[in-house]
Amino acid sequence: MASHLSERRPPIRTLLTLAAVALVGAACDVDSEPTYADDVAEILHQNCVACHRPEGPGPMPLLSYDDAAAVAPLIAQVTGERRMPPWLPARDDRSYRGERGLTDAEIATIRRWAEAGAPRGDAANEPAPPDLPTGWALGEPDLILEMEESYRVPATHHHDIYRNFVLDIPVDGPRWVKAVELLPDNPAVVHHATMQVDPTRSSRLTAMADPEPGYDDRVFASSARPPGGFFLAWTPGLVPAPYPDGMAWRVEPGSDFVVQLHLWPTGRPEEVRLRVGLYFTDEEPTRVPTILRLGGQEIDIPAGEPDFRITDSFEVPVDIEILGVYPHAHFLGKRIEAWGDAP
C-alpha cells in the first residue's frame, strides 16, 4: 500500500476493500416499472461501458440492450453488493476526484428492472452509446515509449503472470514529466500495472538475458525507483489526469521506464503490446510528494489460520494532503483497511 503525501489538509478516514471493474448513473420513478430505454441505459452508459465494451477489460460488453438484458440478474447482484463499480473509499459525505459509486436509488432501479424481466421499453427513447476514447485520453503525448514486440500470454498458467518490460526514454536532456498514460493494445489481459524508472540500465540488462520480451519478477530491480516521489500505477478503466499544479518528476538521459504488468490468462492464447505516453512541462515543480509505505513484507501465516492480519501505522508530524492511496496485496490478501485519525 502506498500514499502520496505533500503538505496541508487534515487527515481523512477511508475504508478500503479489494474489488474489480465498473458501473454508476441516474434513477427512475419508484412508482413506475423501470425500462432499459428510459432508466437503465443511461446508468450503464455513464458508468460501466468504459470497461464493459468490446476489447475492454470488463468480462462482457454492456453497450446495448441485448448486452445488458442477457446479464441483468448479474448486474443487479454485483451492484446491490456494491462490488460494482469498484470504488474503494468508505461511503460518507466526502467527495473525491474521479469518484465512482451508485446511489441507493440507482441500485434499486437496476434491481427492479432485473426483477421485472429486464424490459426494454421504447427503443426510440434509448440514448445513443457514448463516444468512447480509442486513443490517448490526454491527447497526443510529447513522447511515446513502445514495446518493440508483443508479449505472448499463454491460454493457461499455473498462476498469474508478473512481467517487467523495459522501455528506453530517448531524451537529449533532463525533462519534467507532468503526466503519464498507458495504452495496452489488449487491456483484457492486464489486471494492473506499476511503473518505475531505472537510471542505471540494470533492468535492461536483465531483460536482454531473457529470450522473450521483458523478464519475470514480482519485484523491480533494486536500481529502479519511483520517480520523484511519485507512485505510478494504472488499472483498466482508470481515467488518466495530469499531476496537481506545481508537481512533476524529472527524467534524465540514459534512463529506462520499467513497467510491471500483472497479466492473467483468458483461456486462449493472447498477445499484448504496450505504449506509454509521457507529457512534459517546462515548469519546475514547487511541491515534491513522498511515498509512505504501510504494511509488511515478512509474512508468516500459521497453518490453518483463517484470519491472519498485518497492521502498521505512522504518526504524521505535520498537516498533509493525501493525493492517492494504493492498496495492494497478492494471492492471499482478502481485505485492506486504511484510515487516518485526526488529532
Give the pLDDT of the chain (343 residues) as one tens digit per residue.
333 333 333 333 333 333 333 333 344 455 689 999 999 999 999 989 988 988 777 889 999 999 999 999 999 999 999 999 888 788 777 778 778 889 899 999 999 999 999 999 999 999 999 888 778 989 999 999 999 999 999 999 888 899 999 999 999 999 999 999 999 999 889 989 999 999 999 999 999 999 999 999 888 988 999 999 999 999 887 878 899 999 999 999 999 999 999 998 989 999 999 999 999 999 999 999 999 988 877 788 999 999 999 999 999 999 888 888 888 887 788 888 888 888 8
40 lies in the same domain as 148: no
Give, as one character, the DSSP assignment of residue 53.
S
149 lies in the same domain as 258: yes
274 lies in the same domain as 148: yes
**Residue-level pLDDT at 21:** 32
Tell me the β-bridge partners of 290.
5
Cα separation, 264 vs 191, whole angstroms: 7
Neighbouring C-beta atoms of residue 84, cutoff 10 Å:
25
Rounded alpha-carbon distances, angstroms, from residue 54 to 68, 83, 160, 186: 13, 21, 23, 11
Neighbouring C-beta atoms of residue 323, cutoff 10 Å:
17
The answer to whether position 309 is within a domain reads: no
Q: Which residue has the cell 441505459?
A: 41
Strands 175-184 vs 274-281: parallel, antiparallel or unpaired = antiparallel
Q: Which residue has the cell 462490488?
A: 83
152 lies in the same domain as 279: yes
CA angle 286/289/292 to nearest 5° reads 165
Axis crossing angle, helix 72-80 with helix 104-115, rounded to the nearest 10: 150
283 lies in the same domain as 151: yes
Give the residue numbers spanning the domain of 117.
19-125
Grid coordinates representing 39 are 432508466
Residues 6+ apart with CB under 8 A from 307: none
156 lies in the same domain as 265: yes
162 lies in the same domain as 95: no
**Residue-level pLDDT at 30:** 52
Cα separation, 337 vs 327, whole angstroms: 8
148 lies in the same domain as 116: no
Cα separation, 63 vs 99, whole angstroms: 21
**Residue-level pLDDT at 324:** 85
Neighbouring C-beta atoms of residue 100, cutoff 10 Å:
17
Domain count along the chain: 2
Which of these three, 287, 305, 337, is where a domain ends? 287
Give the sign of the dihedral formed by CA 197, CA 208, CA 165, CA 3.
negative
**Residue-level pLDDT at 25:** 38
- The reply to whether omega before 11 is within 30° of 0 (cis) is no
The answer to whether position 238 is within a domain reads: yes
**Residue-level pLDDT at 31:** 62
110 lies in the same domain as 35: yes
Cα separation, 285 vs 178, whole angstroms: 9
Q: Are 34 and 109 in contact (CB under 8 A)?
A: yes
Collapsed DSSP state (helix, strand, coil) of residue 251? strand
Q: Are 118 and 44 in contact (CB under 8 A)?
A: no
The answer to whether position 13 is within a domain reads: no
**Residue-level pLDDT at 27:** 46
Cα separation, 89 vs 34, whole angstroms: 29
CA angle 67/73/78 to nearest 5° reads 95
Collapsed DSSP state (helix, strand, coil) of residue 33? coil
Rg (CA), the chain: 22
| The model's pTM | 0.78
